[in-house]
Amino acid sequence: MKRKKSIIMGMKNLETHSDIETLKKQIRSRMLYHRRQSGVKEILSRSRAIRSHLETLEEFQQARRIVFYVSLPKEVDTHEIIQDCLRMGKQVAVPVTDSWDRNLILSELKDFQAELTRSTYGVMEPKPEFYRYFEAKDIDLVIMPGVAFDRKGHRLGFGGGYYDNFLKKLSSNIPRIALAFDFQIVDGLPRDIWDKKVHKIITESEIITCG
C-alpha cells in the first residue's frame, strides 16, 4: 500500500516529460525487481489461473484471429495457450520487432515448436523462412504484455514505444487485453499523450474492465 501511495504522490508533482520518464523508470525498476523474485512454479501457476480467466471471455471465445506476445521467462506465460489456440484452429499472429521504425510487424504462426527462434532482443520471433505477413485489419483480438498497469487501462512497457506505435495502426474497436500478475496493478501511472490504453486486464485473481 505504501508503494502505491508513493507512486500517486510522485505523479501529482509531474511537470515535464523528463519528470514523467523519471517516474516511469522508477516504477519499471521496482516491477521488474519484483518479477525477478518470482519462481518458475509460481509464474506457471499464476499464468494458468490467468489463462483460465481469459478463456471465459467472449472476446477470446469468438476471436478467430488473435495477436499473442510470445512470453519471456518472467512474464505471464503464453506458450501453452498459443499452442492450444493453434490446435483449436484459431489463426495466431506474433510480433516481429522492426527496430528501424520502432514498430511491430505481425507474422502468422503455424507451428510453435518449429518456427520460433530467439531474436537479438531475446524475444522469441519467427525464423525468417517462416515469415507470413499478417494484415492488421484482419485482427479480432490483441493479447498484450506490460510491466505495470492501472485500472483505467494505462500501460507501462519497457520504454521502446513498440506497442504504442503498433496500436496506432489498429481500429479502436479491436479488443486489447493485457495479461499481468496482481502485483503489476497500481493505482495510477504517469503517462504521455501518445501512450495507448488497453480495454481489459486479466490477473490471477480478477478481470479488470478498464474505464
pLDDT of residue 15: 54
Angstrom distance (rounded) from CA 89 to CA 46: 26
Q: Above 60 in pLDDT, residue 47?
A: yes
pLDDT score recorded for residue 17:
66
pLDDT at 95: 94
Q: How many CB atoms lie within 10 A of CB 105?
A: 16
For residue 93, what are the contacts with CB-CB under 8 A and spacing of at least 6?
Answer: 65, 66, 67, 68, 106, 107, 108, 109, 134, 139
So what's the pLDDT on residue 10? 46
Structure confidence at residue 22 (pLDDT): 87
* CATH class as words, domain 2-209: alpha beta
State the maximum Cα–Cα separation within the chain, in Å, rounded to a whole number: 50
Residue 192 has pLDDT above 80, yes or no: no
* Residue 23 pLDDT > 60: yes
Strands (E) located in the chain: 65-67, 91-98, 103-109, 116-118, 124-126, 141-144, 148-150, 155-156, 176-179, 185-186, 200-202, 207-209
Domain ranges of the chain: 2-209
